[in-house]
Amino acid sequence: MRLSSLLVPLAFATAAPLVGIRAQTVDATVNRAVAAWERVKAVSGSFEQTVTNSLTGTSATSRGDYIQERPNRLAIRFAAPMTDAIIADGQVVWIYLPSSNPGQVFKRPATDRSALPIDPTGQFLESPRTKYDITGAGTRTVDGRASHGLVLVPKSGVTAPFTKATVWVSDDDALVREFEFAESNGVTRKIRITKIQLNPPVNRSSFAFAVPKGVKVVDQTKP
């Protein structure tokens, strides 16, 4: 199961050439983004996600809020009418997706990073040159911000939850404000960060998950 109704992961704004965007090499964009993310210990905000299935020709948009405490705590909760949630409490990952898997919640080990990144943005920025072939995607505006794009394709032998990702890095603060990735099953996810707060106070209760009454726990933490 993929990072389904994210976040994770993680639809971002209209594309248009922007007069005045300064030329910036791919290496410079990568370096700025990596350095900016290294300074982030926690982050919270809101997102919009558009999921497109090329096999069925369908598309759906959802919204929600997230809070993350690096390296291994993450809470993604979708807005009504959805009740989907993806919660990583530092020990296990709870994947509750009643919109697509009603009546059950999956409990996975926190080490299951390949199928479900605990750090949706960090998956692109942690040692990116060793994991991906990186090329430029040009420039565009993302929510009014001049941005440079990066195309990431996993190198041979690297396990990743996507076959190709396009990441848009804001010129002003070097943060990833939008990303889109294609999965091997024909699904494309586009995530736009609509609100972001860096290094906010974090309450550990944000990463607690209570199994809803009548929901079956599918425990995948054991062999």
What φ, ψ does residue 99 adopt, rounded to 5°? -70, -25
- In sequence order, the β-bridge partners of residue 218 are 106
Tokens of 183: 């999965």
CA 26 vs CA 30, 69, 133, 135: distances in Å: 6, 28, 11, 7
Domain spans, the chain: 26-209
Span 115-124, mean pLDDT?
A: 77
pLDDT digits (tens, 9 = 90+) for 51-110: 999 888 899 999 999 999 998 899 999 998 889 999 999 999 999 999 888 999 999 988
Q: For residue 184, give the nearest of 128, 115, 132 by alpha carbon.
A: 115
Residue 167's contacts (CB-CB under 8 Å, 6 or more residues apart) are: 33, 124, 149, 150, 152, 176, 178, 179
pLDDT at 180 over 50: yes
**pTM, two decimal places:** 0.83
What φ, ψ does residue 129 adopt, rounded to 5°? -70, -25
Q: Which CATH architecture has domain 26-209?
A: Clam (2.50)
In total, the chain counts a number of residues equal to: 223
Tokens of 45: 């905000």
Q: Are 113 and 126 spatial neighbours (Cβ–Cβ below 8 Å)?
A: no
Per-residue model confidence (pLDDT) at position 22? 60
What φ, ψ does residue 44 adopt, rounded to 5°? -140, 160
> What is the DSSP-derived secondary structure letter of residue 171?
T
Cis peptide before 212 (omega within 30 of 0): no
CA 18 vs CA 9, 54, 172: distances in Å: 27, 30, 14
Q: Are 73 and 89 spatial neighbours (Cβ–Cβ below 8 Å)?
A: yes
pLDDT category of residue 1 using cuts at 50, 70 and 90: very low
Tokens of 146: 């001049």
